[in-house]
């Protein structure tokens, strides 16, 4: 099935932009091609995509992808720009860079990518594997990853010992509201354990957050963070 994907970020960092696009298109083995959109929106001032860039992390610039040591955990080989010949074949200049001073906007990166034929089999989500070695569906793999590795749905915290600890530490005159307004977003941080991050919400917000398994969890506002037991 052919189609078009538009990849856009609000970042001008090539590690989030051109390097991601270059790695994706290179892995597609010709199935994906960047679209020339220079004729679209002629009034929009823009700059072409980059062919060369430097790679850095919190420790400074990184010269090679095989430097080893602590910083190697923060970088990967696909962050580096492709060779000159490879970059020319990828047509990275077809990426669009929007700078704030050109059009009085925010900074944006935009690229249109056409799928012209089927992707290589290794790119078609084959799914993770269960403990017994059998394959599971890609959707099941994503659900398991979200539940066990990333952020779980919003969970109500019902822990009176924790509430009393907060009353003492912050000098509240009463625990009213705390005992039924605390929530967390980490699996296993409900009753009987110490949450690493707490959210205090109104009763209405709590009802909303608990609806549909906490799908609206991103609407919570943090008031108490990193509270420690006494």
Distances (CA, A) of 53 to 17, 77, 184, 185, 202: 11, 13, 40, 37, 47
Q: What is the mean pLDDT of the chain?
A: 75
| Phi, psi dihedral angles at 123 (to 5 degrees) | -95, -15
In this predicted structure, the answer to whether residue 99 has a pLDDT above a threshold of 90 is yes
Candidates 106, 108, 82; CA nearest to 96 is 108
For 123-163, how does the pLDDT look when each residue is reduced to its tens digit (9 = 90+)? 765 444 444 445 444 445 444 544 454 445 567 787 888 88
In this predicted structure, the answer to whether residue 51 has a pLDDT above a threshold of 90 is yes
Please name the residues in contact with 96: beta carbons below 8 A apart, sequence gap of 6 or more.
37, 46, 47, 48, 49, 108, 109, 110, 111
Q: Which residues are catalytic?
A: 10
For 166-221, how does the pLDDT look when each residue is reduced to its tens digit (9 = 90+)? 888 888 777 767 777 888 866 554 445 567 778 888 877 777 777 754 444 443 33
């Amino acid at each position: 099935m052919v189609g078009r994907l538009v990849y856009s970020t609000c970042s001008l960092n090539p590690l989030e932009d051109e390097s991601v696009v270059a790695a994706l298109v290179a892995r597609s083995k010709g199935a994906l091609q960047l679209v020339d959109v220079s004729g679209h929106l002629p009034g929009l001032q823009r700059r072409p995509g980059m062919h060369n860039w430097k790679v850095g992390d919190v420790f400074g610039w990184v010269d090679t992808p095989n430097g080893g040591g602590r910083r190697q955990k923060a970088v990967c080989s696909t962050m580096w720009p492709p060779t000159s010949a490879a970059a020319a074949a990828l047509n990275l200049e077809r990426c669009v860079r929007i700078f704030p001073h050109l059009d009085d906007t925010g900074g944006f990166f935009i690229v249109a990518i056409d799928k012209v034929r089927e992707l290589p089999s290794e790119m078609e989500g084959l799914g993770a594997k269960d403990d017994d070695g059998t394959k599971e569906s890609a959707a099941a793999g994503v659900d398991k990853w979200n539940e066990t590795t990333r952020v779980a749905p919003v969970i109500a915290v019902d822990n009176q010992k924790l509430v009393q600890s907060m009353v003492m530490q912050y000098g509240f005159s009463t625990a009213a509201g705390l005992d039924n307004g605390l929530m967390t977003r980490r699996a296993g941080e409900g009753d009987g354990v110490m949450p690493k991050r707490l959210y205090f919400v109104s009763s209405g917000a709590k009802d909303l957050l608990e609806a549909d398994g906490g799908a609206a969890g991103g609407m919570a506002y943090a008031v108490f963070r990193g509270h420690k037991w006494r």
